[in-house]
Amino acid sequence: MEALYRILIFSAVLGWAAGVTADIYVWIDGDGVRRYSNRPLPIGVTVVDRIEELPFDAMADAVRRDKDDREMEKLFEHWRIERQIAAEQQDASRRREAEELQRQKMSYQLEEARRWNRFYDSYFGPSYVPVFPKR
């Protein structure tokens, strides 16, 4: 009786293990619909593709994850550098705009001073004191 239990348990475990490592089959049925299954195909069906299930390999998975992590770190670093360059370019553009506005302001002030000198000279004679714009 004990031997019978052992045989039943062994066959149940063996049957369970056989179902765990199932391949995936792909075929097209009579209506032209692509079907997927992990069970053996019906009779008379031609297999389009068969995908074998690979057993889990912890070491290979750890290597793949490590590789993915390094790739993500590189992408993040690349993204960070691009953002930094864009920010520096924007700052440089703002500085150039501020410098241009400062030049325009100084040019306007200089023109105003020249206008004032011409006005002063026309009423009071030539002046020997130059008028500079305020800073």
pLDDT number for residue 86:
95
Please tell me the distance from the alpha carbon of residue 59 to that of residue 121, in angstroms, as a whole number.
92
Q: Which of 18, 60, 61 is nearest to 40 (CA)?
A: 18
Give the pTM: 0.41
Please tell me the distance from the alpha carbon of residue 131 to that of residue 117, in angstroms, as a whole number.
7
What pLDDT, in 10s, does the model give residues 40-91? 777 777 667 777 777 788 999 999 999 999 999 999 999 999 999 999 999 9
Instruction: Give the 3-state secondary structure percentages of the chain, helix then strand then coil, rounded to 5.
Output: 65, 10, 25
Strand order from edge to edge, sheet including 34-37: 34-37, 24-28, 47-51
